[in-house]
């Protein structure tokens, strides 16, 4: 009896901790909120692509946020808040070339989530790879 209970508890622990990837696309907000749970998984994220070249490329919750970061006053509260609501796209020159026609449009990006730079003990600058992109498509 004790062995059966231990086996049952072990199964709950193992399977209860397993993270299941989302069945369909997720929003930028959901990706940010669940970034540690989704770490290492390939997902499709829907959002607004901002300026994408060089040291900056990100997916935003809204077109307003994308434009605020691209054209706004970087010392303003609105700019800082928009930066906090973005999912940074890892550096990839071939991706930047494919993404160029979709800047400031609603897109679907499929890629691997990387939570490394969202941890307490790791600081990243420039192009943070919150998502390492595989593909992009206009929605």
**What is d(CA 137, CA 57) in angstroms, rounded to the nearest whole number?**
15
User: What CATH number is associated with residue 74?
Assistant: 2.40.50
Residue 10 has pLDDT above 50, yes or no: no
Q: Minimal CA–CA distance to 52: which of 116, 114, 106, 95?
A: 95
Mean pLDDT, the chain, rounded, equals: 87
- Give the residue from 79, 94, 81 showing the smallest Cα distance to 132: 94
Domain count within the chain: 1
Q: What confidence tens digit (pLDDT) does each residue in 55-110 have?
A: 899 999 999 999 999 999 999 999 999 999 999 999 888 999 999 999 999 999 99
Q: Is residue 7 part of a domain?
A: no
Tell me, yes or no, whether 6 lies in a domain.
no
- What gap in Å lies between CA 109 and CA 50, rounded to an integer? 13
Residue 109 is assigned to a structural domain of this protein = yes
Distance CA 38, CA 123 (A): 19
Q: Which residue range is the domain that position 48 belongs to? A: 21-138
Residues in the chain, overall count: 139
Give the model's confidence band at 125: pLDDT under 50 very low, under 70 low, under 90 confident, else very high: confident
pLDDT reported for residue 124: 83
Token code pair at residue 72: 């706004």
CA distance 120 to 12: 29
């Amino acid at each position: 009896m004790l062995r059966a209970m231990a086996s049952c508890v072990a199964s709950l622990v193992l399977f209860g901790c397993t993270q299941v990837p989302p069945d369909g696309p997720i929003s930028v907000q959901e990706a940010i909120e669940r970034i540690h749970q989704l770490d290492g998984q390939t997902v499709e994220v829907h959002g607004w692509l901002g300026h994408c070249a060089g040291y900056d490329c990100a997916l935003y919750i809204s077109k307003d946020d994308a434009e605020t970061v691209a054209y706004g006053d970087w010392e303003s509260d609105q700019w800082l808040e928009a930066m906090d609501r973005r999912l940074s796209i890892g550096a990839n020159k071939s991706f930047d070339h494919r993404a160029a026609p979709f800047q400031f449009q609603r897109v679907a990006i499929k890629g691997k989530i990387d939570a490394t730079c969202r941890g307490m003990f790791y600081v990243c600058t420039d192009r943070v790879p919150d998502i390492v992109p595989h593909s992009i498509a206009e929605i």
